[in-house]
């Protein structure tokens, strides 16, 4: 099978902020120590990306106090390692070469301690914008986040 012919898995992430401007990060079950990402996940069946994100946030964080504020103009694609391609095939019965993310700005309207690790999450953490760079360690993860955060902040100010 030729990897370049495989489709991308359509997924979502939510750049979630709280009332004090901190960002919510999750460490997913397969991640190693020190690996973090924004919450989100795959779009299933007939869901829209927004519906998928709301479902994923509730499943992963055990709260429904999330409000989608905006959708980024920037999509983000990345390739998966071979073991993830194979693992996804075993779980979903389909091959994907990687993920294409629809990215949303999300406000959390509850109390910070109401967010707890749910399905597929081993830890959650609220961090400042300055702390994001040291937590987003995957290839191009910080650069993408910075671009989307700047986009949302410009939108909010205009």
Domain ranges of the chain: 3-157
Enumerate the H helices of 29-77 as residue ranges.
49-61
Q: What is the pLDDT of residue 51?
A: 97
Q: Residue range 89-114: average pLDDT?
A: 94
Q: What is the pLDDT of residue 36?
A: 98
Query: Residues for the chain: how many in total?
Result: 158
Q: Residue range 22-33: average pLDDT?
A: 95
Please, what is the average pLDDT of the chain? 93
Closest CA to 26 of 14, 10, 12: 14
Q: Residue range 27-55: average pLDDT?
A: 95
Closest CA to 13 of 32, 36, 46, 29: 36
Rounded Cα distance, 9 and 18, in Å: 29
Q: What is the pLDDT of residue 1?
A: 67
Confidence of residue 134 (pLDDT cuts 50, 70, 90): very high
The answer on pLDDT for 153 being more than 70 is yes
The radius of gyration of the chain's CA atoms, rounded to the nearest angstrom, is 15
Rounded Cα distance, 24 and 119, in Å: 16
The answer on pLDDT for 156 being more than 80 is no
Rounded Cα distance, 91 and 89, in Å: 5
Topology classification of domain 3-157 = Nucleoside Triphosphate Pyrophosphohydrolase (3.90.79)
Q: Residue range 28-49: average pLDDT?
A: 94
Q: Residue range 115-139: average pLDDT?
A: 96
Q: Residue range 124-142: average pLDDT?
A: 95
Between 52 and 87, the higher pLDDT residue: 52
Contact 157, 54 (CB under 8 A): no
Q: What is the pLDDT of residue 157?
A: 74
The answer on pLDDT for 158 being more than 70 is no
Rounded Cα distance, 48 and 41, in Å: 12
Q: How far is CA 105 from CA 95, 125, 156, in A?
A: 29, 17, 11
pLDDT over 90, % of the chain = 79
């Amino acid at each position: 099978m030729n990897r370049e012919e495989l489709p991308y898995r359509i997924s979502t992430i939510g750049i979630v902020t709280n009332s004090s401007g901190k960002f919510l990060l999750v460490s997913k079950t397969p991640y190693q120590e020190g690996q973090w990402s924004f919450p989100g996940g795959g779009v299933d069946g007939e869901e829209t990306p927004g519906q998928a994100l709301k479902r994923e946030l509730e499943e992963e964080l055990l709260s429904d106090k999330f409000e989608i504020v905006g959708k980024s103009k920037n999509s983000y694609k990345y390739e998966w390692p071979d073991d993830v391609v194979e693992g996804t095939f075993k779980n979903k019965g389909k091959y994907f070469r990687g993920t294409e993310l629809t990215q949303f700005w999300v406000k959390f309207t509850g109390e910070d301690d109401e967010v707890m690790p749910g399905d597929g999450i081993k830890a959650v953490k609220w961090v400042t914008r300055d702390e994001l760079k040291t937590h987003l360690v995957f290839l191009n993860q910080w650069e993408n986040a910075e671009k989307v955060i700047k986009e949302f902040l410009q939108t909010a100010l205009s």
